[in-house]
């Protein structure tokens, strides 16, 4: 271990013990299965560009990826269709609204961005579906390559999402009513639910974030998952839209492209430096992990990670 390695390990352990006692926030009970998790679970993970893994607490505990899947499926859509075609369908402007807002862009009828549910459902629907390569198979393969290992689906969470999914179905029908949604709304939402139910750990999420930070090359496997221009675009949209209606405040204070999910996962990426992730399922009113937000914010301050910082 060199001094830098020690500093990262110390920082993660310190922050873990500093924030483990915070029990503010609520479990996401609108998806019944998500209310059954251990509210105390708390893990932090960081992966550097040379593939070094650092962890503290429950970095290996599985949970469902939820909205943290959105940037990676957006990356897949950009890879397959290119930025111009994807932008015809979904814009890249911060919405200033909640993740599940029933809202589309005035005039064009496009979802505001691919990080809110409306945009994510559309992005999922853009992924080609062919007999040899079904849509969800492509998505699972892509998420797995970002993580550097084969991921699977938590079927119980998936069924819970299907049962509780009327708002997302309503969004899909609304999108179809304003323009030609490229697939049937029910099929689009089912695939989106399945994508949200993919099981990961904080260490997996750190690898996924590190792959974006590393220009699309997974630092653990050496696999080129997406091209560098695609990784750059995804990080840009995460920076402006990844934390929904709290994106501006997050960029102001923490200064890193990030994405949160309602199961309690949170990723942040330091371009050309690291991928960072946390897991703690107690959420604030925007649907972001309370401990994760605090811990990643503190780590950014402690290690000087803010992107606008002049080292
Ligand atoms: N599956 C969840 C939903 O669509 C994902 C939302 C989230 O993680 N913010 O409501």
Tens digits of residue pLDDT in 98-115: 999 998 988 888 999 999
What is the average per-residue pLDDT within 163-191? 93
Confidence of residue 6 (pLDDT cuts 50, 70, 90): confident
Could you read off the pLDDT of 113-122 as tens digits, one per residue?
Answer: 999 999 999 9
Instruction: Return phi, psi of residue 54, to 5°.
Output: -125, 140
Residue 311, domain member (yes or no) = no
Residue 267 β-bridge partners: 259, 277
Whether residue 190 sits in one domain with residue 120: yes
Token readout for 198 is 């993919």
Q: Among residues 148, 170, 196, which one ends one of the domains?
A: 196
- Predicted confidence (pLDDT) per residue in 183-226, tens digit: 999 999 999 999 999 999 999 999 999 999 999 999 999 999 99
192 as an active site residue: the answer is yes
Residue range 129-141: mean pLDDT, rounded: 97
Shared-domain flag, residues 208 and 297: yes
Exposed, middle or buried: residue 1 (CB in 10 Å: 0-12, 13-18, 19+)? exposed
Please provide the DSSP assignment of 108-162 as one string: T---S-TTSHHHHHHHHHHS--BTTB-HHHHHHHHHHHHHTS---B-HHHHHHHH
**pLDDT tens digits for range 14-37:** 999 999 999 999 999 999 999 999
Pocket probe mutation, ligand 1, options 71, 139, 161, 289, max atoms within 8 Å of Cβ = 161
What is the per-residue burial (b if ≥16 Cβ within 10 Å, else e) of 252-261? eebbbbbbbb
DSSP 26: B
191 and 224 within one domain: no
Inside any domain, residue 204: yes
Domain boundary residue, one of 160, 179, 196:
196
**Protein residues with CB under 6 Å of any ligand 1 atom:** 66-67, 99-100, 117, 161, 168, 196, 261-262, 287
The number of domains in the chain is 2
* Structural domain contains residue 149: yes
Dist CA 90 CA 37 (whole Å): 33
Coil vs helix vs strand at 269: strand
Length of the chain: 311
Q: How far apart are CA 58 and CA 125, in angstroms?
A: 34
Is 310 inside any structural domain? no
Please check whether residues 92 and 153 belong to one and the same domain. yes
Distance CA 268, CA 234 (A): 12
DSSP string, 149-200: S---B-HHHHHHHHHT-HHHHHHHHHHHHHS--SS-HHHHHHHHHHHHTBEE
Distance between CA 257 and CA 72 in Å, rounded? 13
| Mean pLDDT (whole number) for 122-137 | 97
Q: Is residue 117 part of a domain?
A: yes
CATH of the domain at 189: 3.40.710.10
Structure letter (DSSP) for residue 204: H
**Catalytic-labelled residue, pool 183, 192, 234, 289:** 192
Active site residue 244: yes
131 and 206 together in one domain:
no
Q: Among 8, 48, 70, 74, which one carries the catalytic annotation?
A: 70
Angle between helices 155-163 and 185-196 (to 10 degrees): 140
Residue 225 within a domain? yes
Query: By residue range, what is the domain housing residue 240?
Result: 3-63+200-303
5 alpha carbon – ligand 1 mean position (Å): 35
Distance, in Å, from the CA atom of 260 to the CA atom of 267, rounded to the nearest integer, reads: 7
For the CA of 100, the nearest atom of ligand 1: 10
Residue 309 lies in a domain: no
Catalytic residue status for 160: no
Q: Are residues 204 and 298 in the same domain?
A: yes
Q: Whose CA is nearest to atom 6 of ligand 1?
A: 67
pTM of the model as a whole: 0.97
Options 200, 244, 254, 263, the catalytic residue: 244
192 with 71, same domain: the answer is yes
Query: How far is the centre of ligand 1, averaged over its atoms, from the C-alpha of 136 (Å)?
Result: 17
Q: How far is CA 293 from CA 42, 245, 287, in A?
A: 12, 14, 11
* 79 has catalytic annotation: no
**244-299 tens-digit pLDDT:** 999 999 999 999 999 999 999 999 999 999 999 999 999 999 999 999 999 999 99
Is 34 in the same domain as 85? no
**Binding region:** 67, 117, 161, 168, 192, 244, 262
Ligand 1 atom nearest 67 alpha carbon: 8
Residues 172 and 131 in one domain: yes
Residue 133's Cβ-count burial label (10 Å; 0-12, 13-18, 19+) is exposed
d(CA 43, CA 176): 39
Distances from the Cα of 89 to the Cα of 110, 120, 175, angstroms: 6, 11, 10
pLDDT digits (tens, 9 = 90+) for 49-89: 999 999 999 999 999 999 999 999 999 999 999 999 999 99
């Amino acid at each position: 271990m060199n001094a830098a390695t020690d500093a990262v390990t110390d920082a993660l352990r310190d922050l873990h013990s500093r924030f483990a006692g915070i029990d503010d926030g609520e479990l996401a009970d609108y998806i019944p299965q998500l209310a059954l998790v251990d509210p105390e679970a708390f893990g932090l993970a960081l992966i550097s560009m040379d593939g070094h893994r650092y962890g503290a607490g429950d970095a290996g505990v599985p949970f469902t990826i939820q909205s943290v899947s959105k940037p990676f499926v957006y990356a897949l859509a950009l890879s397959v269709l290119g930025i111009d075609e994807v932008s015809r369908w979904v814009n890249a402007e911060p919405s200033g609204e909640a993740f599940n807002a029933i809202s589309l862009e005035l005039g064009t009828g496009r979802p505001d961005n691919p990080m809110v549910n409306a945009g994510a459902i559309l992005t999922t629907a853009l992924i080609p579906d062919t007999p040899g390569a079904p849509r969800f198979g492509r998505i699972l393969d892509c998420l797995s390559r970002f993580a550097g290992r084969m991921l699977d689906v938590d079927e119980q969470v998936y069924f819970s999402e299907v049962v509780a999914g009327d708002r997302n179905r309503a969004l899909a029908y609304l999108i179809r009513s304003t323009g030609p949604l490229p697939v049937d709304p029910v099929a689009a939402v089912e695939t989106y639910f399945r994508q949200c139910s993919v099981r990961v750990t904080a260490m997996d999420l750190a690898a996924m974030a590190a792959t974006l930070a590393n220009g699309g090359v997974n630092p653990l496997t050496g696999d080129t998952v997406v091209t560098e221009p695609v990784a750059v675009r995804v990080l840009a949209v995460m920076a402006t839209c990844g934390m929904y209606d709290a994106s501006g405040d997050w960029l102001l204070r923490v200064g890193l492209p990030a994405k949160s999910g309602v199961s309690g996962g949170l990723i942040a990426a330091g371009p050309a430096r690291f991928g960072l992730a946390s897991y703690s399922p107690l959420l604030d009113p925007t649907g972001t992990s309370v401990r994760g937000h605090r811990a990643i914010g503190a780590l950014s301050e402690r290690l000087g990670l803010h992107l606008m910082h002049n080292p």
